[in-house]
Each structure stands twice: as structure tokens, then as C-alpha cells.
Amino acid sequence: MRKNLIYIFVILLVIACSEGNKSNQINDDGETPNALINETSPYLLQHAYNPVDWRAWNDETLALAKTENKLIVISVGYSACHWCHVMEEESFENDSVAMIMNENFINIKVDREERPDVDQVYMNAVQLMTGGGGWPLNCITLPDGRPVFGGTYFTKNQWTKILEDMSSLYKNNPEKVISYAEKLTEGVKNSDLITVNNATVEFKREELKNAVNELEKSLDFELGGQKEAPKFPMPSHLNFLLRYSFQNNKQALQNYVFRSLNAMANGGIYDQVAGGFSRYSVDDRWHVPHFEKMLYDNAQLVSLYSQAYALTKNIEYKRVIEKTLVFVNTELKTKEGAFYSSLDADSFNGNNEMEEGAYYVWTIKELQSLLKEDFQLFKAYYNVNSVGKWEKDLYILYKTRSSGEFAKSNNLTLEELNSKIMSWTTILKEARAKRSKPRLDNKVLTSWNALMLKAYVDAYNAIGRDDYLQNAVTIAQFILDKQLMGSGELFHSYKNGKSTIEGFSEDYAHTIAAFIDLYQATFDEKWLNQAKNLMEYAIEYFMSKESGMFYFTSNNASKLITRKTEVFDNVIASSNSVLADCLFKLGHYFSDTKYTDLASQMLRNVNDAMLKSPSAYTNWLALYLNYSNPYYEVAISGDGAFETYKELKQHYLPNILISGSSKESSLPLLENKYNESETLIYVCVNGTCKLPVNTVDRALSQIAK
């Protein structure tokens, strides 16, 4: 009893000290902050002056809820989220709503990007309750964190009624609330259980063909992307389908991928002025974006367009790659060479009011004033008409014809049109620079930076620019220097010179994948060995010994109501599918059957679900291709190894793994292959090599799709 009293006293003392600190941080409006003022997340800091007594997710806050026996409001969002801002303005900045929340609940704000583990659990609960999800995510839980109610955006009146009803029910009939929470929590725990598949599974082309036929039902072959709206780019889908169509000679499917890439690059989802992609389009023709720009989208799309450029040499894809990387470097790059997370959807308009898309859209009057005699041509090219109109008198630049088609129909050479486009974008950039810019989410996330690292490697391979490779090395070194602890553990977040939050499986998965790709581009075995070390750490601290799958949180992480296992490939490929692919590759690099056995076991575990619902497993399907179609290890050894690699990577070769060295190497794939007199290329399958050749053309002839 005495221990409990001391514990309660400490909690109250912490709160009192926090309140004391607040008095010295009054803002310009005379408001004192809540506990979020001590956080680093830009999203949490946006809510620091709400009248709601927000707290961060931590052990102290959760202990307080139990001590006071109060329901918890867990509100999850992110700084670039438009509807999160709307709900904040309508409800969380309202004194009467705040009073209800403060009197009856412990209120926790969560940045979903900073704490994806918390978001996963409560998103899962809301999806079970409502059949859908999104952000803002608002969940009400018991004092111990077990969920009892949830949803996404609510109006002020809806939210007020929910708060009053839930607090009344818990006070008057707590048994009913607890009973429901027990059932819902059990559902959350069981929703992603993966069982071991010990059956013998043959990874057959016919099975994969059937899965692709099922996947095709969800594809929009006319407008690109998935059917219906909203439309997300879904790089994992398109990357798999590009590879599958190439390796299996499916021209119609390949055309679908190109149609999707063209439509996205021509659409309003792509910033025609400064480059970079918005998160998704709200319509089915890629016209009206949800204007926030996320690092993870742009990184993955650079990789995707790089793969497409390697296959097609389509100059428009090259422009998208280069322009997107200019955007990322200009708007998101840190002084250390890493990258911030996102730009907000909202910014201040001409009336000094926050408005979605205000930074990006145009009026006819503005464009006429800026472009003068060129306006009519510009208007036709970017559909400043009923096709490109958004709302009110605002237009989103939107192309419906390729540059070649437009130039021909307007009696211009392609060079003349490109010159005009460069002039137009320069003028509009200068005009837009005078506007209030969207807010920057300036936290650095390990997993997203790993995706950006991979993007630079892919762009380097496709285009050959050395500065792209140098940027990739800089990001990789940042992760080693700032985010990797001496124990081998990764941090998840970095801001203001401080690394925080234990890494999640997504951090390990994407970093390992990026380091493997960086090794292939540099032949620096440091990166391959670092990838192996991180994999060993992940196996020890994240892997379930029962299922062979990886939990999202480590054994050492603070306990949630359950440990989730991420297997569905969404806008970002799942951590388990990426780790399985990395295990496959590391097994080949190090001739280690432990890794290859784990990879095939993981694929077997999801095999039935994957073939039944392929749209949720597209990155797993890419791994399936490694087993069902030819897959090669390519070893390049000799003084000219780097030049040979560059020539080889000019080709789209999705079914090879490259190792190389300009000197002797003890790597199993390179051992005893160095020849002082010439550079040789060995094409191998499972370590068994064909006769070495000395030209890329001869090596290509040994590599089948």
C-alpha cells in the first residue's frame, strides 16, 4: 500500500512540475501549453496549445489513467493530415469540448509516423469496429489501453455526444464496457495471427498466373492504378506487375503499368511546377490530389520510375526521376544529408487562412498576368479549362496529352515545347515562392530515409549520375552514425540532433534492403556486412520462434495490448515481405541456408492468403517470382568490375543479384574468381556458375527472363 502511495505521489509531482514549466511558455495569444510542449514531434507540437490536456504516449501517462481509473482518448494523426487539422480546429481547440475531455478522460495525442506501433493496434481495433479506417484516428479505451470505441473524423457535435455517452456509460455500467473491451481486444490479438505452414509448397508459375488474374480484377486498365477513387500510387503493386509482365511476356499488363505511370506523371497528383508527388488523388483520374507530400511516396516512386526507365528509356520517366529528386533535395533535405518526413497539405492563402492546396493552385487571372502572350499555349497544355478546374475559380495543372503529341498538334518541335515548359515552370516557381509555404514535418525517420537511400541507388543505376550514388552513401552513413547504437539496435526517429524511439521492424527491413542495394552499386562489402548484422539483430529480437515471422516491435519494447505482425503490402511494402526478400538475398550472398530456409518458410506461411487475396501481398508475389521463374547470381570480378556493373545496370534485370570486386574477395559468390588479366562475369544459379564471359552482351545472353 505504501509503495502505491509513493508511486501516486511521484506521478502527481511530475504533473505539478510540468504545470510549473508551462507558466513560462505562454504563447502570443496568452495560452499556456499542455504536456506536448516537451515533445519533438511536429504533429504533437501543433497541439501543444490546445485547451485539451493532451499527453504523449508513455508509461507515465498510462499509469496515470489506471491511477485515476479514467477512460483514455487516443487520438492519432500526422502533421501533413488535412482532416486532422480540421478536427483540431473544430473540436480540440474548443473550450467546451476540451472541458469534457479533461474532466472525464486521460487524453493522449499520437504521431502515427513516430509511433506506428500504437497506430497499428488502434487502427486494427477501429477497422474491426467500423470496417474502415483513416486519419485522424480516434479511439476510446479502458484505463489499461483495451479499446471500446473508435472511428476517424468526427464533427464537433458528433464528438461531444460520443464523449458524453462513453463517460456516462463507464461511470454507470462499467461491466458492460469492460466486457465489450475484452471481446474487441481478443479480436485485435487474433486478427493477424500467422500460423506455421509445414506443408510442402511448390512455388509454381501456374499458381502465380492465377493470382495475377485475380489481381487484375482490381486494376483500372483505362485510367491506371486501382479501380475507383481515391487513387493511391501503390508502388509495390506496380513494381511487381512491371516485373511479372516483363518476365512472363504479358504485354497488356505491361501497358497497364506504363499507362499508370504516365497518368500519374501527367496528373495533378504530380506537382507540374516543382516536381514531387502528393499522397493520392481524391478522384479516379489522378487530377485532384490530397496535397500533402510524403517522403516515402516520393522515394518509392523514384525507384519505380527508375525501373521503368531502365526498361523503356522513356525520356519522360527520366524527367520525373530528376525533377522529383530536385524537389526532395530542395524541400526535405537536412544539413546532415538525411531527409525530413513531409510537407503539409495546408498552407496560408491570400486571406491569411489555412487552406488545403493553397500553395499549389492557380487562378486564370494569376496565370494570364504571369505568362502573358504564352498563356493560351500554357492553358491548352495544362488544361486550364473545365478539365483542369478544381473548385471556385481555382485550377490544378493537369496534362492529358504527352509532350510529343501536344507539340505536333501545335506545330512545335519537341525542343521548342520543352524550352517553353522550362520557362513557364521557372516563372511559376518564382511566383509561388512568394506564397506562404506548407508546414514542414522536420523529424527524420530511419525507415523512410532507407527508402530514400534505395531511391538514389535505383536512380543512379538507371541514369548513371554519380551525385545520386553519393547522396545514397551519405544517407547510409547518417543511419550508421546517428541511428545505430553500439548494441546493434536502430533508433526510429531523429530530430534536433537527438535520436529517439526504439526502432521497429520496418526500420530494420528497409535499412537492410537499402544496404544490400548500396553494396551492389559500390561493391563496398561494409554495407553487405552491416545488412547481415542488422538481420541478425532482427532475428534475435523481433522474430517469433513459433511462426518464423517478425513482430513489428522488439522483445524489449514497452508493452502494448498485443504485438502486431505486419504482413499486408500497402502503400509501403510490409516489413515481413521486405525482410523475407532480404533473407533470400543474404542467403545467396553468404551461402547461408539458415537465411534461405527462413525466407521460404515465411513465403509458405502467407502462401494461401497471398494466392487468394493477391492485392494485399504484391511484394510477397515479387519474392514468389524468385522461386517460380529463373533467378541468377551474377559475380563480376576484375579490375574493370565497376565499369562492367554500370553497363550491366543500364538494362532492366529484376531477376539477378550482383556481387563484384576489383580485387580478391572472400565472399562465397566471389571467392577464387579474381583474374588479374581480365574482368570476368559469372552467371550462376544457387552457386553453380556457367562458363565466365568477358562482355555484358554475352552475360545477358546467359540470363533468361
The list of the chain residues with pLDDT below 70 reads 1-30
What single-letter DSSP state applies at residue 36? G
Report yes or no: 74 and 61 within 8 Å, Cβ to Cβ: no
Question: What is d(CA 383, CA 536) in angstroms, rounded to the nearest whole number?
Answer: 53
Q: Three cell numbers at 140?
A: 476510446
- In this predicted model, what pLDDT tens digit does every residue of 249-275 receive, in sequence order? 999 999 999 999 999 999 999 999 999
**Largest distance between two CA atoms of the chain:** 88
Question: What is d(CA 617, CA 568) in angstroms, rounded to the nearest whole number?
Answer: 6
Nearest residue to 297 (alpha-carbon basis) of 432, 113, 44, 490? 113
Domain spans, the chain: 2-190, 205-347+441-628, 360-434, 632-702
**Inter-helix orientation angle 575-589/593-612, to 10°:** 140
Say yes or no: domain 205-347+441-628 is CATH 1.50.10.10.
Answer: yes
Nearest residue to 300 (alpha-carbon basis) of 642, 538, 618? 618
Residue 20 has what pLDDT?
41
Question: What is d(CA 303, CA 310) in angstroms, rounded to the nearest whole number?
Answer: 11
Residue 3 has what pLDDT?
39
Q: Give the right CATH number for 2-190 from 3.40.720.10, 3.30.1180.10, 3.40.30.10, 3.40.50.20.
A: 3.40.30.10
User: What is the pTM assigned to this prediction?
Assistant: 0.92
Question: What is d(CA 309, CA 312) in angstroms, rounded to the nearest whole number?
Answer: 5
Q: For 154, phi and psi rounded to 5 degrees?
A: -125, 145
Residue owning grid cell 499520437: 110
Residue 133 has what pLDDT?
87
- In this predicted model, what pLDDT tens digit does every residue of 481-520 receive, in sequence order? 999 998 999 999 999 999 999 999 999 999 999 999 999 9
Residue 454 has what pLDDT?
98
Residue owning grid cell 547461408: 592
